[in-house]
Amino acid sequence: MHYRIIRDYGHTAREKVNELVGGLVVAVLTVVVLVAIFIGWRAALIVALAVPICYGITQLVDLFTGYTINRVTLFALILALGLLVDDPITGVDNIERYLRMGRFEPLRAVVSAITEIRGPLIMATVAIVIAFAPMSFITGMMGPYMAPMALNVPVAAIVSTFVAFIVTPWLAYRMLPHQPPKVVYDVKRTPIYRIYSRAVRPLIRSRARAWAFLGAVAVVFVAAVSLPAFRLVPLKLLPYENKNNFKSSWTCPRALPSNAPRG
> What distance in Å separates the CA atoms of residue 164 and residue 155, rounded to the nearest whole number?
14
pLDDT for 246: 60
pLDDT for 104: 82
Q: What is the mean pLDDT of residues 238-243?
A: 61
Encode pLDDT of 54-102 as tens digits: 888 988 998 898 888 777 888 888 888 888 888 888 899 898 888 888 7
Residue 249 scores a pLDDT above 60: no
Give the pTM. Answer: 0.72
Residue 2 scores a pLDDT above 60: yes
Say which residues have a Cβ less than 8 Å from residue 196's Cβ, sequence separation at least 6.
none
Among 140, 144, 47, 150, CA closest to 93: 47
DSSP three-state, residue 228:
helix
> 10 Å Cβ neighbour count for 67?
18
More confident call, 179 vs 98: 98
Encode pLDDT of 204-214 as tens digits: 888 899 999 99
**φ, ψ for residue 103, nearest 5 deg:** -80, -30
Using 50, 70 and 90 to split pLDDT, how confident is the model at 126?
Answer: very high
Q: What is the average pLDDT score of the chain?
A: 82
Among 39, 121, 130, 45, CA closest to 86: 121
DSSP three-state, residue 89:
helix
Highest mean pLDDT (candidates 66-80, 131-145, 156-170): 156-170
